Amino acid sequence: MRISLIGCGYVGLATGGCLAAIGHRVACMDGDGDRIRTLMAGHIPIYEPHLEEIVFDARSAGRIEFTADLPKTVQQSDAILICVGTPPLDNGEADLSALDPVVRIIATEAHGLKLVIEKSTVPVRTGEQLRRALRTIRNCYSMSSSEGHLTQRCGALFLKERGGCSSFACRKSLGDRGSTFPSLCARRSGVPPP
């Protein structure tokens, strides 16, 4: 399965590396050009046990790439994981402003069947907000359902810092109502997980 992962912070890099390690083709996208150049040079800007080796092996096998080209990344994927930062605001609420430009690009560039997954570390009802935004933007551009069908889910992504790769290896990190991410993608695409 071709997976776009948007946001190369801790959650994005650990998830992207692990998805590539189990056989998916992963494009990790980030708007920070310096971060992408660092990753393309083979350096991991965070510490997570085993992640550097996992990413190195996946890059050597051609299963992971790093890019700043969001439209192309969305167009070429079967599933899109949104892992952008949602830092706290002064009032304690999550800052969801990084979602807006990502949702706009997904809504306009996603053609064909796409599974859109948001990370779980966003506030309750963010999924509803995301679903409405995708629908509204597609309606504004008069895009018909034949131009692309988007299915949106929230990933139950709980990666323990300094243990995320180990917990992901158990295949219990990302899923939908108790299912693992690979089986969710297989149900959605008809392609068995690797």
Residue 141 counted as domain residue = yes
Band the pLDDT of 167: cuts 50, 70, 90.
Answer: low
Report the number of distinct structural domains present in the chain: 1
Judged by phi (left if over 0) then psi (alpha if -120 to 50, else beta), residue 40 lies in alpha
In this prediction the pTM is: 0.73
CATH of the domain at 31: 3.40.50.720
Angle, in degrees to the nearest 10, between helices 51-60 and 10-21 = 50
Q: Return the bridge partners of 28, or none.
A: 5, 66
Residue 38 counted as domain residue = yes
Q: Between 115 and 6, where is the model more confident? A: 6
Residue 8 counted as domain residue = yes
Measured distance CA(177)–CA(155) in Å, rounded = 9
Measured distance CA(136)–CA(142) in Å, rounded = 10
Can you give the pLDDT at residue 98? 83
Question: Domain residues for 92?
Answer: 2-189
Work out the angle at residue 72's Cα, subtended by the Cα atoms of residues 71 and 73, and round it to the nearest 5 degrees: 90
Average pLDDT, stretch 97-125?
77
Least confident of 47-51, 69-73, 129-133, 166-170: 166-170
Residue 194 counted as domain residue = no
Please say if the pLDDT value at position 187 is more than 60.
no
Query: Could you identify the residue written with the tokens 């930062």?
Result: 85
Please say if the pLDDT value at position 133 is more than 50.
yes
